[in-house]
Amino acid sequence: MSNVWAVIRREYLQRVRSKWFVIATIGGPLFMIGITVLPAYFMVQNESDSRIVAIVDGTGVLYDRVAPRFEAAGYDVREEEWNVDIQTELRQSTTEGDLGGFLMMDDLTLETGDATFYVTDRPSSIRSLSLQSAVTRSALEYQLTQQGVDADAMLQGGGLNIEMLSDEGANENEPAFFVAYIGAFFLYMVILLYSVAVMRATLEEKTNRVVEVIISSMKPWHLMLGKIVGVGAVGLTQMAVWLASGALLAGAGIPALVAARPEMVGLESIKEVLPGLGMLALFLCFFILGFFMFSGLYAAVGAMCNSDEEAQQAQFPVIMLLIVPIIFVMQVIQDPMSTLATTLSLIPIFSPILMWARVAGGGVPAWQVGLSFVLMTITVFAIAWLAGRIYKVGILMAGKRPTLPELWRWVREA
Amino acid sequence: MSDNGYAIRLEGVTKRFGKHTAVSGFDFEVPRGVICGLLGPNGSGKTTSIRMIMGILNPDEGSVSLFGEDPDKTRREKVGYLPEERGIYKKMKVIELLTFFAEIRGVKRSEGRKKAGVWLERLGLSAWGDKRADDLSKGMQQKVQFIGTVLHDPELLILDEPFSGLDPINQDVLEEIVRDFHAKGTTILFSTHLMHQAEQLCERVCLISNAKKVLDADLKALKASERKGIVAVEFEGPDDWIRGPEVDHTEEIDNGLHLILRDGADHQAILKRGVDSEARILRFDLVEPKLHEIFVRHAGAGSVGDAGMPAGAHPGGVS
């Protein structure tokens, strides 16, 4: 077994020390932050300097509700009494730069939530949204309060208490579409990424003939195992870094940002959709089982090919096994208990993506999840057996790629 | 250690690739402690035979044993293997590459690293240990690969075309190292299509041609049995002394003549006549049969291709 360790160590250290690993691991999260948070930040940043806003409240009841919300969005607010010339006056001070803009509300505002915000620079879309909701919310609150309704509770979204009348899924989490959907895609991505890495490593060893030296001192199966575990460990390392930086962003980065820029308070809501630790552990289990199944298949593909181009073609049937569940993932999330969803998610090779989607989406009986884990584990061993045999013959074979009957002969004879 | 006196034993080994038979009924033994050359033209089955010894290919028929045991048990730690197609991880640092090669042969990491350092020093590569393998020249990479072959102090070295691609200086360096291993008692099997290389190094030779063994013998004994009466002479002055009942005919060579003697004739009588004559003898030299000639004789002309030495005068001799 010391051989296998040597292979694992080499595979792991070579990859983790490479420039690309460092770039992808650190650059990945930075890129994500870059495309989500920064544009919002700069959009807010770039607006005009004058933040004084005049509010003309034609209704006489909305100012007290609207003003604090504008202040929260970063404006200084002052009230102007309505008169016939007010609009002309305010237009002038705004174009001259004394005012950042002015908001006109009238009776229609109370009925439909429409109001007009006069500015010289278009506010960022994020700020527009929050200003718009400031007005409509204020109008709604006012109207509801008039009816004797608890507007706050209602506008928070109320609360639908779900009472389960059967045991099935009683202790499942609440449906979380975001986690299910993004998680499924992320699983697809990382399983593919690292399995292809196993294929490339196999192909490289084969084409530069190192394999002959190695095979003369260890069983091909051990070499394959070492490569898969080594690359898998790299994948786990990379994800650990990503998760840690994600946790850091959610736990420290966003609060800091919000503290510095109160108008970006909306970012806080991201936290509500983040998965918990239990979900992360489940995610890793699906990744590990999925990776073991697909990396075995990809190792076999690498072993039977002689060049990158050949491997690109030969991997097609394998990649289909990953794409099929992605095609169905939407349907499965929307109706996780349908026959289609149940059947597909229990097919072991589809389970990593589809069973994940069902579990994360909520409401899957525990026994089905357990069954899928058992089936996946059996499949991991079956694929290892099959791929190990193809690998053993293929890795030393030069020349034409084998046809299916030839492949079957390899499996039988190895 | 078993009491079996052979490091390698092949019995009736046959390997086919589809309709093509690469090796056919190959019986072959290498006694312990011997340097043995596996000779033959390109495509004759040398590499296939070696790959079967190394367990990279399984023979269709016949059996392989190493040190009298199942080769799968002994191969990893007792055998060092330099394949014909050289292969290293190009992106690894040389010292790490060598440590890895030692490790998969059962050497501890720290020890493997130390030994790799010593060998790099010996082959003049100590400045390159921290460089990536693909920064090295082809010749240097080949030396690195050779080091990877011997780090675990194998009892049996199997070298497939070890000299190809090396410049003459490095060929000499490698030859010297092979001799050192031989002096320590290591058994060495190497394949080559260069007859003169085999002639300088080997104690035993095995000739194969067209998948079949042609000859397998001790080199000295082989040469003695194949020796024909040929004398190379070089002289100034009259040539009447070379004519006599012993000489069948003469052939011109560079700077002299080959005297082809009749069967059973004694060259001593010719030499005596020469000394008594007016001629000044520069050279009088019994010609050893070249391995090349022996091979051609046994395998048929043409099967050696362009690889052998040209038949010519033996260097040195009386002067």
Average pLDDT over residues A237-264: 76
> Is the pLDDT confidence value at A171 over 60?
no
> Is the pLDDT confidence value at A318 over 90?
yes
Q: Does A409 touch chain B (CB under 8 A)?
A: no
Mean pLDDT of chain B, nearest integer: 84
Put simply, the answer to whether B56 touches A6 (Cβ < 8 Å) is no
Alpha-carbon gap: B150 to the closest alpha carbon of chain A (Å)? 12
Alpha-carbon gap: B218 to the closest alpha carbon of chain A (Å)? 29
Q: Choose between A251 and B41: higher pLDDT.
A: B41
Q: Which residues of B touch A10 (CB under 8 A)?
A: 89, 92, 96, 100
Categorize the per-residue pLDDT at A260 as very low, low, confident or very high, splitting at 50, 70 and 90. low
Residue B247 has a pLDDT of 83
Put simply, the answer to whether A217 touches B105 (Cβ < 8 Å) is yes
Residue A227 has a pLDDT of 93
Categorize the per-residue pLDDT at A31 as very low, low, confident or very high, splitting at 50, 70 and 90. confident
CA distance B98 to B104: 10
Put simply, the answer to whether B101 touches A209 (Cβ < 8 Å) is no
> Is the pLDDT confidence value at B1 over 60?
no
Angle, CA A188 vertex, CA A182 and CA A193 arms, to 5°: 125
Average pLDDT over residues B188-213: 87
Q: Searching chain B, which residue's CA lies closest to the CA of residue A219?
A: B72
Residue B300 has a pLDDT of 64
Q: Which residues of B touch A3 (CB under 8 A)?
A: 103-104
Average pLDDT over residues A316-339: 90
Q: Which residues of A touch B149 (CB under 8 A)?
A: 213
Residue pointed to by tokens 């080949």 = B142
Alpha-carbon gap: A318 to the closest alpha carbon of chain B (Å)? 27
Categorize the per-residue pLDDT at A372 as very low, low, confident or very high, splitting at 50, 70 and 90. very high
Residue pointed to by tokens 């004739």 = B265
Q: Choose between B197 and A222: higher pLDDT.
A: A222
Q: Choose between A17 and A154: higher pLDDT.
A: A17
Query: Residue B66 burial by CB count (10 A; 0-12/13-18/19+): exposed, middle or buried?
Result: buried
> Is the pLDDT confidence value at A67 over 60?
yes
CA distance A327 to A315: 18
**Which residue, among A313, A283, A317, A312, has the nearest Cα to A297 in the 3D structure?**
A317
Alpha-carbon gap: A307 to the closest alpha carbon of chain B (Å)? 16
Categorize the per-residue pLDDT at B319 as very low, low, confident or very high, splitting at 50, 70 and 90. very low
**Which residue, among B283, B236, B240, has the nearest Cα to B258 in the 3D structure?**
B283
CA distance B81 to B149: 6
Put simply, the answer to whether A6 touches B103 (Cβ < 8 Å) is yes
> Is the pLDDT confidence value at A273 over 70?
no
In eight-state DSSP terms, residue A253 is: I
CA distance A17 to A12: 8
Residue A327 has a pLDDT of 93
Residue A166 has a pLDDT of 58
pLDDT in tens, B43-54: 888 989 999 999
> Is the pLDDT confidence value at A66 over 90?
no
Put simply, the answer to whether B83 touches A209 (Cβ < 8 Å) is yes
Query: Residue B260 burial by CB count (10 A; 0-12/13-18/19+): exposed, middle or buried?
Result: middle
> Is the pLDDT confidence value at B135 over 60?
yes
Alpha-carbon gap: A345 to the closest alpha carbon of chain B (Å)? 41
pLDDT in tens, B72-96: 888 888 999 998 887 888 889 999 9
Q: Searching chain B, which residue's CA lies closest to the CA of residue A226?
A: B104
Average pLDDT over residues B208-214: 86
CA distance A394 to A283: 33
Average pLDDT over residues B23-33: 91
Q: What is the dihedral of CA A64, A69, A71, A76, to 10 degrees?
A: -60
The least confident of A2-6, A396-400, B2-6, B11-15 is B2-6
> Is the pLDDT confidence value at A208 over 60?
yes
Closest to B56 (Cβ–Cβ): which among A14, A18, A396? A396
Q: Choose between B195 and A347: higher pLDDT.
A: A347
Q: Choose between A376 and A101: higher pLDDT.
A: A376
Based on its alpha-carbon atoms, the radius of gyration of chain B, rounded to whole angstroms, reads: 23
Residue A284 has a pLDDT of 92
User: Which residues of B have a CB under 8 Å from any CB of A?
Assistant: 51, 54-57, 75-76, 79, 81, 83, 85-92, 96, 100-101, 103-106, 145, 148-149
Closest to B56 (Cβ–Cβ): which among A2, A14, A216? A216
Closest to B85 (Cβ–Cβ): which among A6, A212, A217? A212
> Is the pLDDT confidence value at B242 over 80?
yes
Average pLDDT over residues A42-64: 74
Residue A158 has a pLDDT of 65
Based on its alpha-carbon atoms, the radius of gyration of chain A, rounded to whole angstroms, reads: 30
Residue A173 has a pLDDT of 46
Read off the pTM: 0.73
Give phi and psi for B62, each to the nearest 5: 85, 180
Put simply, the answer to whether A213 touches B81 (Cβ < 8 Å) is yes
Alpha-carbon gap: B209 to the closest alpha carbon of chain A (Å)? 23
On whether the CB atoms of residues A289 and A377 are closer than 8 A, the answer is yes
Mean pLDDT of chain A, nearest integer: 83
Residue B311 has a pLDDT of 35
- DSSP E strands, A98-172: 101-105, 116-119
Q: Which residues of B touch A213 (CB under 8 A)?
A: 81, 83, 87, 101, 145, 148-149
Put simply, the answer to whether A6 touches B57 (Cβ < 8 Å) is no
Put simply, the answer to whether A216 touches B91 (Cβ < 8 Å) is no
In eight-state DSSP terms, residue A156 is: T
- In this complex, how many residue pairs, one in chain A and one in chain B, have their CB atoms less than 8 Å apart? 61
CA–chain centroid gap for B50, Å, is 14
Q: Does A334 touch chain B (CB under 8 A)?
A: no
Residue B4 has a pLDDT of 64
**Which residue, among B80, B100, B103, B16, has the nearest Cα to A205 in the 3D structure?**
B100
Categorize the per-residue pLDDT at B228 as very low, low, confident or very high, splitting at 50, 70 and 90. low
Residue A47 has a pLDDT of 52
Put simply, the answer to whether B104 touches A214 (Cβ < 8 Å) is yes
CA distance A268 to B177: 71
Residue A230 has a pLDDT of 95
Q: Put the strands of the sheet holding B35-39 in their side by side order.
A: B79-82, B156-160, B187-192, B35-39, B204-209, B212-218
Which candidate in B64, B84, B104 is best for mutational testing of the A interface (most A CBs within 10 A)? B104
Average pLDDT over residues A138-167: 74
The least confident of A176-180, A326-330, B5-9, B103-107 is A176-180
Residue type, A303: A
Give phi and psi for B13, each to the nearest 5: -80, 130
Average pLDDT over residues B92-108: 92
pLDDT in tens, A128-137: 877 888 888 8
Put simply, the answer to whether A213 touches B103 (Cβ < 8 Å) is no
Spell out the SS3 assignment of chain B: CCCCCEEEEEEEEEEEECCEEEEEEEEEEEECCCEEEEECCCCCCHHHHHHHHCCCCCCCEEEEEECCECHHHHHHHHEEEECCCCCCCCCCEHHHHHHHHHHCCCCCHHHHHHHHHHHHHHCCCHHHCCCEHHHCCHHHHHHHHHHHHHCCCCCEEEEECCCCCCCHHHHHHHHHHHHHHHHCCCEEEEEECCHHHHHHHCCEEEEEECCEEEEEEEHHHHHHHHCCCEEEEEEECCCHHHCCCCEEEEEEECCEEEEEECCCCCHHHHHHHHHHCCCEEEEEEECCCCHHHHHHHHHCCCCCCCCCCCCCCCCCCCC
Categorize the per-residue pLDDT at B3 as very low, low, confident or very high, splitting at 50, 70 and 90. very low
Residue A127 has a pLDDT of 75
Closest to A215 (Cβ–Cβ): which among B56, B92, B101? B56
Residue B188 has a pLDDT of 95
Q: Choose between A211 and B265: higher pLDDT.
A: A211
Residue A236 has a pLDDT of 93
Residue A405 has a pLDDT of 83
Share of chain B above pLDDT 70, in %: 92
Residue A162 has a pLDDT of 63
Put simply, the answer to whether A2 touches B54 (Cβ < 8 Å) is no
CA distance B106 to A192: 34
> Is the pLDDT confidence value at B306 over 80?
no
Q: Choose between A364 and B290: higher pLDDT.
A: A364
**Which residue, among A336, A350, A357, has the nearest Cα to A182 in the 3D structure?**
A357
Which candidate in A3, A203, A205, A217 is best for mutational testing of the B interface (most B CBs within 10 A)? A217
User: In a 3-state reduction of DSSP, which class is residue A337?
Assistant: coil
Average pLDDT over residues A402-407: 82
Residue A352 has a pLDDT of 93
Average pLDDT over residues A380-388: 91
Share of chain B above pLDDT 90, in %: 34
Which candidate in A17, A209, A210 is best for mutational testing of the B interface (most B CBs within 10 A)? A210
CA–chain centroid gap for B9, Å, is 18
The least confident of A56-70, A95-109, A290-304, B304-318 is B304-318
